[in-house]
Amino acid sequence: MENKVSVGLLGLGVVGSGVIKLIENHQEKLAHQLGCSVQVKRVLVRDLDKSRDVTIDESILTTNPDDVLNDPEIDIIVEVMGGIEEAKQHISRAFAAKKHVVSANKDLVALHGPALQNAANRNKCDFYYEASVAGGIPILRGIADGLSSDHIQQVMGIVNGTTNYILTQMDSEGVSYEDALKAAQELGFAESDPTSDVDGLDAARKMAILARLAFSTAVDLEDVEVTGIRGIELEDLQYGYQMGYTMKLIGFANFDDHELEVNVQPTLLAKSHPLAAVKNEFNAVYVYGEAVGETMFYGPGAGSLPTATAIVSDIISVIKNMRLGVTGNQFIEPHFKKELKTPDKRHAQYYVRIYAKDQSGVFSTISSLFHEREISFKRILQAPIMKKEVAEIVFITHHTTLENFQEALENLGGLDTVLEVKSYYKVEGDAIT
């Protein structure tokens, strides 16, 4: 191998700029680790005249992808352009040209990761995408390498900084969802169109990638059940706080008896749970392994330099593989056949808040309805609503199956004494109050 490895970038936005900064500023360290220098040789951009927050030789910029993908001196392609179809085409061309690829594109990896990985293997190329999940947190490498000898049973985490910031502000400052979202947009934590974040789609893509890797199972994006944070009311956070819980948008993946469950939903976490202390825009992933027990990965989930750090780490891994002559060998076909858990095999606790007529016997009727489905209550709060002759009842169940809970909830809405089921959420952990 020559004493220089050339890199081509597809995209020069916030993350691409961070990659260039790290490579330029860490040349001495890279040379020490790898025995060669790393050079960014060509960069694909959409607009040559756009002002940028990184100093770069403008002669290496191009608007023609062929200048990057067909350059025989470029060994590694870094895809940070985003989108799906165009990025997929470029990466496929890179593999055909025997170039290795590092990507930060969670949308692409969630939808087409296995197919692209197969294409990489066929061409003896590496395909790494650590930055596609949780920014600068080395969670994929941690699962694939650090926990490779263990049997991972559960992965759950806060993998979207926007929603975590919003829920933290609602919880700590007592502001509404709308005001917290506006603050997140003003600080740059949320896009002008926050749909992907607040509806849980961004987190779902990341959980598909995590579950696929953690459980060696062919998890598709459509296997992930998704509920976002729109409509969460302050009352639920306040009642949760009284009972020892805090609200988070949690990505959850469980694998036992060769059956899989993956979902993203607002969840009341016991304050004693490690994830409950993760605030604002930070991310964290909690992993439970049969041998190692509990582990947690915590850090910034986005941002120019944190994400760029994950990308450059992947570049280093590729170069090490190149020097050893072992590229294109890291992908292993899924070990287990995918079997999704049915509702009768999915167990959890649940929080429910309802409006009911403020009269005697109402709670006894509600309790009997749940008891018929073998559901008991762990915590109960009840308060009258002034001038309405209406009682607000909040309770948390003991563990039950999703099937029994859904049936109880459906029948609860049919009671004459129940005026409205205001909200219900999954509960994780045992609160200490």
Domain containing residue 178: CATH number: 3.30.360.10
Asked if 9 and 71 sit in the same domain, the reply is yes
Residue 310 lies in a domain: yes
Shared domain for 158 and 286, answered yes or no, is yes
- Residue 26 CB coordination number (10 Å): 16
Contact in structure between 404 and 217 (CB atoms under 8 Å): no
What pLDDT is recorded for position 136?
A: 84
The fraction of the chain above a pLDDT of 90, given in percent, is 82
Same domain? For 119 and 157 the reply is no
CATH of the domain at 366: 3.30.70.260
Residue 206 appears among annotated catalytic residues: yes
pLDDT digit string, tens, across residues 80-116:
999 999 999 999 999 999 999 999 999 999 999 999 9
Q: Identify whether residues 151 and 112 lie together within a single domain.
A: no
Average pLDDT of the chain to the nearest whole number: 93
46 Cβ neighbours under 8 A, 6+ residues apart: 63
Among 106, 206, 248, 426, which one carries the catalytic annotation?
Answer: 206
Instruction: Report the CATH number at residue 22.
Output: 3.40.50.720
Q: Residue 2 — pLDDT band, cuts 50, 70, 90?
A: low
Q: What is the pLDDT of residues 407-425, one digit of tens each?
A: 999 999 889 999 999 999 9
Number of domains in the chain: 3
433: confidence class by pLDDT, cuts 50, 70, 90: low
Residue 91, in any domain of the structure? yes
Over residues 349-375, the pLDDT tens digits come to 999 999 999 888 898 999 999 999 999
Which pLDDT score, from 0 to 100, does residue 430 have?
Answer: 85
Residue 337 lies in a domain: no
Same domain, 105 and 170: no
Does the pLDDT of residue 148 top 90, yes or no?
no
The reply to whether 334 falls in a domain is no
What distance, in Å, lies between the first and last C-alpha atoms of the chain?
62
154 and 128 both lie in a single domain: no
d(CA 90, CA 100): 12
> Could you tell me if residue 38 is inside a domain?
yes
112 shares its domain with 28: yes
Exposure letters 105-118 (e unless 16+ CB within 10 A, then b): bbbbbbbbbbebbe
- What's the domain range around 399? 343-428
**Residues 265 and 216 reside in one and the same domain:** yes
Cα–Cα separations (whole angstroms), residue 44 to 9, 11, 25, 76: 6, 5, 21, 14
Domain contains 357: yes
**Same-domain pairing of 72 and 187:** no
pLDDT over threshold 90, residue 384: no
Q: Is residue 260 part of a domain?
A: yes
Determine the residue type at 418: V
Identify whether residues 272 and 254 lie together within a single domain. Answer: yes
Instruction: Answer whether 0.75 is exceeded by the pTM.
Output: yes
Q: How confident is the model at residue 188 (pLDDT cuts 50, 70, 90)?
A: confident
294 with 309, same domain? Answer: no
Query: Is residue 343 scored above 90 in pLDDT?
Result: yes
Q: Count Cβ neighbours within 10 Å for each residue of 416-425 and write b for 16 or more, e otherwise.
A: eebeebebbb
Residue 276 lies in a domain: yes
Name the residue type at position 30.
Answer: L
Q: Are residues 294 and 166 in the same domain?
A: yes
Q: What is the mean pLDDT of residues 123-137?
A: 93
